Amino acid sequence: MAEVYNWQIGRKMEYPYEEKHPKFQFAAVFNINRCIGCQTCTMACKATWTFSDGQEYMWWNNVETKPYGGYPQHWDIKILQLLHDEHQKAGKEMVWNKNGKSQNDTPYGKYEGMTIFEAVPSYRKDGHNVALGYIPSDKEWRYPNYGEDVPYSFTREFIKETDLPEHKVWFFYLQRICNHCSYPACLAACPRKAIYKREEDGIVLIDQKRCRGYQKCVEACPYKKAMYRGNTKVSEKCIGCYPRIEGDDPLSEGEPMETRCVTSCVGKIRLQGLVEINQDGSWKEDESNPIYYLVKVEKVALPLYPQFGTGPNVYYIPPRWVPKEYLRQMFGPGVDDAIEKYSYPSRKLLAVLQLFRTTQKIIFKYEIKEGEKIFENEKWAMYNDTVIGYSKNGKEIVRTTVEEPFFIRDLKHYNSI
Ligand code: SF4
Ligand code: SF4
Ligand code: SF4
Ligand code: F3S
């Protein structure tokens, strides 16, 4: 195994291949606080890419209700259990050391436990068992909405127990796509080398012609986002809507466009982008890129289960009302700061949050023009700033304000029904 640097866990880790990074990385921020669980994203992906025979179980995008839901069922509990068992056997703990937290290369501190690449029992580290994992049973791939809207509760006093900072009765929606990981376990595990990460945008794809259906990718992906198709006997996964990223969609005028699941989001919870990557895998400093700003500057958006070690590139703004202990396991030790920042946003953060779902084109750069103060209390103030988004070619593609703009319908469009 080679040694690579994973900034999400703040240290070097074992990985089967040497460091090699794309020029840009496909990345997204999902704001859990705003999701209404409508599944429009799920259907947008399904209707575009996976409507054919043999793809019945394929939900490249799914939205599951935590803590009980999951697709495939219990995917995260199962991999966490496997990881926990290996730590027990090795006499180690899955803990974070928060020293160095908030530095650029160790933003959440250092994970001192083992990743899925490091926790493979030595007797299995031969051949292609490069990561700890399992293959879900057919039954676990059924019922994508399993556990939907079922809350966790240890009290029946619903009315009295719904105050922030934490609700006693709670659930939240977790929106999931392939994370187009920086150190993909699916890619590392494939004995046919049928999986590759694109140099231009970091999208991880399965070469359908090379794949022989070994399913090592299905076994190794801790997020269970590589899926086997029974009738073609090859595996498939989210393709990051790469024709849209390349600007091939007729609507995009040749400029990179956000994916189907992102642009269709009714709750306006998703923002997608491309971040520039240095040769060593770190992100090129660029505060004017909204994804860079949210993840690296404000650190309000966090990776899903960073301790797995794959370097996932979908980042989540954690839900405010959920017990922190649960969230820390899911998003790491950055949770408390992220929720604090989101609850009392800085002037700039509030402006950048307005960019979610304002345009189908990818925003590479934003600019803020200051407006007047419109609200203030002892904890924070709100300004009616204007935020402007620019495309890859520097064209203005969106302009909006913090205070929701009013549009008055022209009389000729008056609704007569
Ligand atoms: Fe591969 Fe899974 Fe990461 Fe997607 S989420 S790149 S399928 S390891
Ligand atoms: Fe589906 Fe595209 Fe979203 Fe991937 S990025 S889940 S392919 S809609
Ligand atoms: Fe949530 Fe948006 Fe998907 Fe609806 S479309 S379930 S709001 S992520
Ligand atoms: Fe490789 Fe997965 Fe196909 S392991 S051969 S890409 S099923």
Return d(Cα 161, Cα 152) in angstroms, integer. Answer: 13
Q: Could you tell me if the CB of 267 is within 6 A of ligand 3?
A: yes
Residue nearest to atom 2 of ligand 3 (CA): 265
| Residues in CB range of 325: below 8 A, 6 or more apart | none
CA 206 to ligand 4: nearest atom: 6
User: What's the pLDDT at 162?
Assistant: 65
Residue labelled with tokens 């924070």: 380
In the reported structure, the alpha carbon of residue 357 is separated from the centroid of ligand 3 by a whole-number distance in angstroms of: 11
| 301-310 burial code (b ≥16 CB/10 A, e <16) | bbbbbbbbbb
Q: How confident is the model at residue 196 (pLDDT cuts 50, 70, 90)?
A: very high
Q: Look over the chain and give the mean of its residue pLDDT values, rounded to a whole number.
A: 94
Q: Are 177 and 261 in contact (CB under 8 A)?
A: yes
**Ligand minimally distant from the alpha carbon of residue 185:** 1
Q: Number of C-alpha atoms within 13 angstroms, CB side, residue 160?
A: 4
Strands (E) located in 91-225: 96-97, 110-111, 152-153, 169-170, 172-176, 195-197, 204-206
Provide the pLDDT for residue 412: 80
* Ligand 4, residues at Cβ distance < 6 Å: 189-190, 192, 194-195, 206, 211-217, 234-235
CATH no. for 2-346: 3.30.70.20
Count of Cβ atoms closer than 10 Å to residue 17 Cβ: 14
Strands 314-317 and 24-31: parallel
Quote the CA–CA distance of 292 and 27 in Å, as a whole number.
Answer: 9
Ligand 3: residue whose CA is nearest its atom 1: 35
- Among protein residues, the one with the nearest Cα to ligand 2's atom 2 is 241
pLDDT of residue 170 exceeding 70, the answer is: yes
Burial of 131 (0-12, 13-18, 19+ CB in 10 A): buried
Q: Which ligand is nearest to the CA of 204?
A: 1
Place of tokens 């839901």: 69
Distance CA 168, CA 162 (A): 7
Predicted confidence at residue 76, as pLDDT, reads 97
Per-residue pLDDT, 218: 98
Q: What is the pLDDT of residue 103?
A: 82
Instruction: Give the start-to-end residue ranges of the domains of the chain.
Output: 2-346, 349-401
The alpha carbon of 67 and the centre of ligand 3 are apart by a number of angstroms equal to: 18
Per-residue pLDDT at 89 exceeds 60: yes
Q: Is 261 in the pocket of ligand 3 (CB under 6 A)?
A: no
Q: How many CB atoms lie within 10 A of CB 410?
A: 7
What CA–CA distance (Å, rounded) separates 266 from 37? 9
Rounded to whole angstroms, the Cα distance separating 70 from 172 reads 12
Q: Whose CA is nearest to atom 3 of ligand 2?
A: 261
Ligand nearest to the backbone CA of 211: 4
pTM: predicted TM-score of the whole model, two decimal places: 0.95
Pocket flag, ligand 2, residue 314 (CB < 6 Å): no
pLDDT at 80: 98
Give the pLDDT of residue 99: 83
pLDDT digits (tens, 9 = 90+) for 341-367: 999 999 999 999 999 999 999 999 999
Render 246-315 in DSSP notation, one character per residue. TT-SGGGTTS-B--HHHHT-TT--EEEEEEEB-TTSPBPP-TTSHHHIIIIIS--SEESSGGGSS---EE
How far apart (Å, rounded) are the C-alpha atoms in residues 348 and 355?
12
CA of 43 to the centre of ligand 3 (A): 10
- Give the number of whichever ligand sits closest to the CA of residue 314: 1
Please tell me if the CB atom of residue 41 comes closer than 6 angstroms to any atom of ligand 3: yes
Q: For residue 155, what pLDDT band results from cuts at 50, 70 and 90?
A: low
